């Protein structure tokens, strides 16, 4: 009878995750902590209602939804879950009600407090941590069982040991399977977002390239006629022509950026010292940093060589460091560092500027989006495409009022 009830509980605790897998994208409240708290709370309630009662205690898997909601949804959801368990247990009553209150409170606090640390993990690491946390409520329940036996002066029977073992196995199994399904759901959601973003960027890139090609031709004609006119003009007309030529050159630079965004071309592949490239960039951007009253510091590892397009890489790094300087107020600091990892080099550019909100951070790299008052976001979009074309990765981390850190990872040259 115990196994039948526990297997039924196992199906119940898997239901919310399976519902999220099937209907999550079409359900508007799938990301609402309140809605998910009610769903997981209802699941815990069902587990308690369909529990196996023996030794005046309830044997069920109510704490699996508690652990999952704490780690994968958040504090609001697990608090709602806890309140619903308390109300259900109060409704059921019984001689061990106060032991139940103690057990439920301790079993709630363990995942609630642990979730703040575990939610920063991902993948298998988070699954393992979730299973470890589920052992907390398990030990609490076993301690309550032992305490009640002492309190009621009722010795534990040996035939209870197989039931306890089965209960422990199914509790851990239910937690592991639920956590694994949650990770699969999150991975699919991230993959869908990445695919949609890639398709959008591809469409925008093709459109930008088409427009850039069409615009470049008339600009070239206009620039040619202006160059012919310059020698014959004097005074203000000469000044106006100079300004017009500068603006045309700026327009050509923007067009080149659009073409680079469309399809970055690594045309000149060579082996070179990464620290030499960064040193040149620091020399190039130091005057800009001094003009903005920003301290630019650099800490580099030597003897790091990569095989790629030096010019494209320099363009990408200049864009990132330049953005960091522009985002930093006077007397601020921009730090650039590099270090060798296994098979790759990591570059970190951090500033203590104004930072970005989560919404701004999520839109970084989108064409036509910029956090600057004047800007198209094209430089950042081009940077991301260049790094990706080099089989590298770029990650933005930011907090408003604290600053931004950009981490670039590139493969090292293979010997």
Tens of pLDDT, residue by residue over 265-295, are 666 788 888 888 888 888 889 988 998 899 9
| Range in 243-252, 289-298, 335-344 with the lowest mean pLDDT | 243-252
* Residue 287 shares a structural domain with residue 400: yes
* Residue 20 shares a structural domain with residue 158: yes
User: Three-state SS for 234?
Assistant: coil
The token pair at 98 is 């106060």
Task: Compute the distance between CA of residue 112 and CA of residue 69 in angstroms, rounded to an integer.
Answer: 9
CATH number, residue 191 = 1.10.1760
The closest of 87, 92, 49, 47 to 68, measured between CA atoms, is 47
Give the mean model confidence (pLDDT) for residues 305-329: 88
- Exposure b/e, 99-116, CB count within 10 A at least 16 = b: bbeebbebbbebbbebbe
**CA dihedral angle for residue 167, residue 170, residue 172, residue 178, rounded to 10 degrees:** -140
pTM: 0.62
* Residue 111 shares a structural domain with residue 71: yes
* Residue 210 shares a structural domain with residue 304: no
* Residue 53 shares a structural domain with residue 149: yes
* Residue 344 shares a structural domain with residue 391: yes
Q: Which domain holds residue 317?
A: 269-411
* Residue 297 shares a structural domain with residue 336: yes
Q: Are 338 and 345 in contact (CB under 8 A)?
A: yes
CATH number, residue 400 = 3.30.565.10
The closest of 40, 58, 48 to 9, measured between CA atoms, is 48
pLDDT reading at 55 higher than 70? no
* Residue 103 shares a structural domain with residue 216: no
pLDDT tens by residue, 213-241: 677 778 777 777 777 777 776 667 777 88
Task: Compute the distance between CA of residue 338 and CA of residue 343 in angstroms, rounded to an integer.
Answer: 14
Q: Are 45 and 84 in contact (CB under 8 A)?
A: yes
Using the 3D structure, point to which of 151, 169, 195 is the last residue of a domain. 195
CB-count exposure of residue 287 (10 Å: 0-12, 13-18, 19+) = exposed
The closest of 108, 96, 132 to 44, measured between CA atoms, is 108
User: In Å, what is the CA distance from 180 to each residue of 122, 131, 201, 259, 385?
Assistant: 11, 10, 31, 42, 32
What is the model's pLDDT at position 384?
85
CB-count exposure of residue 53 (10 Å: 0-12, 13-18, 19+) = middle
Query: Which of 56-60, 70-74, 140-144, 251-255 has the highest average model confidence (pLDDT)?
Result: 70-74
* Residue 350 shares a structural domain with residue 277: yes
Using the 3D structure, point to which of 145, 168, 195 is the last residue of a domain. 195
Using the 3D structure, point to which of 150, 178, 195 is the last residue of a domain. 195
* Residue 167 shares a structural domain with residue 140: yes
Share of the chain above pLDDT 90, in %: 14
User: In Å, what is the CA distance from 367 to each residue of 8, 81, 203, 258?
Assistant: 51, 42, 11, 10
Please count the structural domains in the chain.
3
| Long-range CB contacts for residues 218-225, cutoff 8 Å, separation at least 24 | 219/248, 219/251, 219/252, 219/255, 222/248, 223/248, 223/252
User: Three-state SS for 339?
Assistant: strand
Radius of gyration of the chain from its Cα atoms, rounded to whole angstroms: 30
Share of the chain above pLDDT 70, in %: 84
**CA dihedral angle for residue 53, residue 58, residue 59, residue 60, rounded to 10 degrees:** 120
* Residue 174 shares a structural domain with residue 248: no
User: Three-state SS for 117?
Assistant: helix
Q: What average pLDDT does the structure give for the chain?
A: 82
* Residue 18 shares a structural domain with residue 147: yes
């Amino acid at each position: 009878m115990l196994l039948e009830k526990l297997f039924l509980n196992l199906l119940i605790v898997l239901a919310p995750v399976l519902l999220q897998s099937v209907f999550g994208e079409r359900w508007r409240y799938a990301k609402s902590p309140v809605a998910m708290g009610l769903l997981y709370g209802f699941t815990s309630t069902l587990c308690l209602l369909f529990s196996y009662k023996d030794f005046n205690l309830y044997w069920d898997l109510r704490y699996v939804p508690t652990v999952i909601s704490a780690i994968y949804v958040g504090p609001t959801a697990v608090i709602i879950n806890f309140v619903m368990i308390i109300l259900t247990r109060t409704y059921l009553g019984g001689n061990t009600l106060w032991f139940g209150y103690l057990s439920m409170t301790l079993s709630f606090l363990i995942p609630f407090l642990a979730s703040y640390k575990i939610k920063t993990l991902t993948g298998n690491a988070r699954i393992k941590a979730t299973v470890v946390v589920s052992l907390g409520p398990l030990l609490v329940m076993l301690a309550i069982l032992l305490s009640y036996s002492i309190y009621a002066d009722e010795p534990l029977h040996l035939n209870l040991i197989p039931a306890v073992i089965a209960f422990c196995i199914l509790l851990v199994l239910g937690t592991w399977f639920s956590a694994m399904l949650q990770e699969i759901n999150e991975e699919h959601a991230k993959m869908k977002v990445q695919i949609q973003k890639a398709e959008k960027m591809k469409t925008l890139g093709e459109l930008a390239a088409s427009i850039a090609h069409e615009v470049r031709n008339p600009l070239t004609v206009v620039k040619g006629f202006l160059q012919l006119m310059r020698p014959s003009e004097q005074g203000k007309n000469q000044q106006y022509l100079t300004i017009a030529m500068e603006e045309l050159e700026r327009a050509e630079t923007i067009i080149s950026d659009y073409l680079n965004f469309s399809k970055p071309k690594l045309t000149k592949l060579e082996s070179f010292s990464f620290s030499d490239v960064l040193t040149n960039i620091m020399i190039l951007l130091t005057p800009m940093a001094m003009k903005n009253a920003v301290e630019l510091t650099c800490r580099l590892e030597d003897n790091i060589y990569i095989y790629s397009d030096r010019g494209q890489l320099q363009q990408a790094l200049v864009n990132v460091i330049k953005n960091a300087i522009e985002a930093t107020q006077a007397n601020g600091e921009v730090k650039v560092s590099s270090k060798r990892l296994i098979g790759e080099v990591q570059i970190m550019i951090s500033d203590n500027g104004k930072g970005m909100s989560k919404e701004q951070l999520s839109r970084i790299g989108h064409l036509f989006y910029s956090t600057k008052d004047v800007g198209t976001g094209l430089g950042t979009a081009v940077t991301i495409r260049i790094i990706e074309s080099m089989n590298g990765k770029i990650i933005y981390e930011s907090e408003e009022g604290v600053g931004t850190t950009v981490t670039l990872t590139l493969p090292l040259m293979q010997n």
